[in-house]
C-alpha cells in the first residue's frame, strides 16, 4: 500500500467527503470553498486514490468567523482559552472503504507534525465517533467535556486538547 499526502486537491474533488456526514453537517460547494480558504489542509491518497481529508483552522480565525448556530457557540466557548496558540481540527474524514486499515492515526500524525512546524502549540477539536476518540487519545489528547446532540445529529461531541 502506497500512502501519499497532498495539499492541492480541488474543492470540487474534496466534496466526496461530504457524503459520509449527516445532512446537518454537510457543506455545500460554496460553504466548503469559503471555509478551506482559511484552513490548513491535507488529503491522503492510498495507491493513487483519494482516501482521507483533514482541515484545520487557527482558533483565532475560527472565533473571528462568529456564531451562526447554537453549537457554534459551544465551539467558541471551548476554544477561546487557546486563541493565541491553538488550531482547531474542523474535520478528519476517511472514506468508508479505507476505514479499519489504521490510516487515521498515520494521517493525523502527519498533519499534526505539519501544524507543529507552523508554530501551533495545541490542537483542539471535537471527537464525534468512538474510533476517532481512540485515535486522538492514542496521540495524547485529553477529552475535557461532552456536548450531546451535536448539530442535531444525535451524536455526542467530545471536546479535546492535544499539546504538540
34-45: buried (b, 16+ CB within 10 Å) or exposed (e) per residue? Answer: ebbeebbbbbbe
Domain count, the chain: 1
Q: Which three cell numbers stand for residue 128?
A: 464525534
Q: Other C-beta atoms within 10 Å of 61: how many?
A: 12
CA atoms within 13 Å, Cβ hemisphere of 15: 11
| Tens digits of residue pLDDT in 22-45 | 888 788 999 999 989 999 999 999
| Tens digits of residue pLDDT in 46-61 | 999 999 999 999 999 9
- For residue 5, the SS3 value is strand
How many helices (H) and strands (E) would you count in the chain? 6, 7
Instruction: Give the pLDDT band (50/70/90) at residue 73.
Output: confident
Residue 26 sits in a domain whose CATH number is 3.40.630.30
Distance CA(50)–CA(30), nearest Å, equals 21
How far, CA to CA in Å, does 158 sit from each of 4, 26, 66, 151?
29, 19, 21, 13
Contact 76, 35 (CB under 8 A): no
pLDDT higher than 90, residue 152 = no
Q: Which domain holds residue 153?
A: 3-163
User: Rounded mean pLDDT of the chain?
Assistant: 93
Amino acid at each position: 500500500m502506497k500512502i501519499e499526502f497532498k495539499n492541492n486537491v480541488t474543492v470540487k474533488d474534496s466534496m466526496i467527503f461530504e457524503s459520509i456526514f449527516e445532512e446537518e453537517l454537510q457543506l455545500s460547494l460554496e460553504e466548503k470553498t469559503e471555509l478551506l480558504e482559511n484552513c490548513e489542509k491535507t488529503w491522503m491518497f492510498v495507491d493513487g486514490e483519494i482516501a482521507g481529508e483533514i482541515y484545520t483552522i487557527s482558533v483565532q480565525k475560527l472565533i473571528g468567523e462568529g456564531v451562526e448556530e447554537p453549537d457554534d457557540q459551544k465551539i467558541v466557548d471551548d476554544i477561546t482559552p487557546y486563541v493565541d496558540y491553538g488550531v482547531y481540527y474542523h474535520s478528519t474524514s476517511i472514506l468508508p472503504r479505507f476505514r479499519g486499515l489504521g490510516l487515521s492515526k498515520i494521517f493525523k500524525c502527519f498533519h499534526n507534525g505539519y501544524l507543529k512546524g507552523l508554530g501551533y502549540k495545541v490542537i483542539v477539536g471535537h471527537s464525534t465517533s468512538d474510533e476517532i476518540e481512540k485515535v486522538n487519545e492514542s496521540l495524547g489528547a485529553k477529552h475535557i467535556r461532552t456536548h450531546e446532540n451535536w448539530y442535531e445529529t444525535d451524536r455526542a461531541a467530545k471536546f479535546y486538547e492535544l499539546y504538540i
